[in-house]
Amino acid sequence: MKKTMAILTMITLVSLTAMAKKQAPIYKVDDSYKVQLGSTALYIAVDSKENIWGILRSGEVVGISPEGKEIKRFKPEMEGSPTTIAIDKKDNITVLSTKTEKKTFKYKGRSITRSVPVAAYYSIYDKAGKKIKDGEFKGVQSASAAHYAKDKLIIADVGQRSLIFYDLTAGKIKKKTNKGIRLCCGIFDFCVGPDDMIYVASLGAFKVQPFRPSGTTGHGFGQRGRTVNDFHGCCNPVSVAILPDKSIVTVEKDTTRVKVYDSKGKTAKLVEGIQELVKGCRHIPLAVDKKGNIYLASNKSTIIKCVKAH
């Protein structure tokens, strides 16, 4: 009997440990972290030294140290309007831009004029702000988000509503996919996890949609609802990131909610201390570092840092 009880106790402890590992960690805002950018960040990324880099609405690129100190600021010269930023394995900074043109459409008997994306460009700089290379993306209409994965640059093209896998060396598209991707409000964001899996914030579907490096889709999670595990509003999430422990960070707008899910996307915990970061249907830039810190950009030209609550 004692031996049986000992075995049952051991099984219970193992089960509880396994359950604990599956739980999402608790995060809170680090109120001691104060960063003012002087202009709203359109997108942010983290380099190998844990520095935060952002492309600002002013057109400037700014680098912030892990301690919150500005380390570099420069303004790239390129066609179109800068929209996003990506960091390669050498910590070079790729700034992407989108060119728009006004076009007139007929809708229900009325003429409507809108600015639509027609071309996308890139300009690569080292950390000193020296240009290395630039050019136009062939076959790409726009770039709202971008990340490097191995030797390819993956681009979120809202014009074609597709993820585009681009070979910069060859100067051409290798493949593109849009299966399961549903967009809204002109927002299109994604991230690349430590295992090179790609996760799209498919806000029109109220889901996080994963893709394998090959471009084939995996099983996503999420639904529209009012609980903490659901996504609320007209369309959410607007941003997604993967933490080093494979927990999943999502960001919702209108009203702002930042959540950390377990690695399977089953249960979520709200990040404590988050205030409204943007007004209305707007993207909220998000990035994470190798230490598991979470960074967010607000429309008040600030960077917010979130850390594990111990």
Q: Which has the higher per-residue pLDDT, 268 or 15?
A: 268
Burial of 280 (0-12, 13-18, 19+ CB in 10 A): exposed
- pLDDT band, very low/low/confident/very high, at 103 (cuts 50, 70, 90): confident
pLDDT in tens, 13-22: 334 344 445 6
- Give the DSSP letter of residue 16: H
State the amino acid at position 97 in one-letter form. Answer: S
- pLDDT band, very low/low/confident/very high, at 11 (cuts 50, 70, 90): very low
Residue 17's pLDDT is 41
Residue 276: pLDDT over 80: yes
Delimit the domains of the chain by residue range: 26-104+111-308
Q: Find the radius of gyration of the CA atoms of the chain.
A: 21
pLDDT in tens, 182-212: 999 999 999 999 889 999 999 999 999 999 9
Sheet holding 268-270, edge to edge: 239-242, 248-252, 257-261, 268-270
d(Cα 149, Cα 153) in Å, to the nearest integer? 6
Residue 96: pLDDT over 70: yes
- Mean pLDDT, the chain, rounded, equals 91
Phi, then psi, of 9 in degrees rounded to 5: -65, -40
Q: Say what percent of the chain tops pLDDT 70.
A: 93
Residue 6: pLDDT over 70: no
pTM here?
0.91
Residue 105's pLDDT is 78
Cβ atoms of 158 and 205 closer than 8 Å: no
Residue 118: pLDDT over 60: yes
Burial of 281 (0-12, 13-18, 19+ CB in 10 A): middle
Residue 19's pLDDT is 43
Residue 5's pLDDT is 47
d(Cα 245, Cα 24) in Å, to the nearest integer? 10
Nearest C-alpha neighbor of 143 from the set 127, 160, 124 = 160
Residue 246's pLDDT is 95
- pLDDT band, very low/low/confident/very high, at 23 (cuts 50, 70, 90): confident
Nearest C-alpha neighbor of 27 from the set 272, 305, 303, 287 = 272
H helices within 42-185, ranges in order? none
Q: Which has the higher per-residue pLDDT, 242 or 23?
A: 242
Q: What is the mean pLDDT of residues 63-86?
A: 96
- pLDDT band, very low/low/confident/very high, at 164 (cuts 50, 70, 90): very high
Residue 174's pLDDT is 95
Residue 28 host element (H or E): strand 27-29
- Superfamily of segment(s) 26-104+111-308: TolB, C-terminal domain (2.120.10.30)
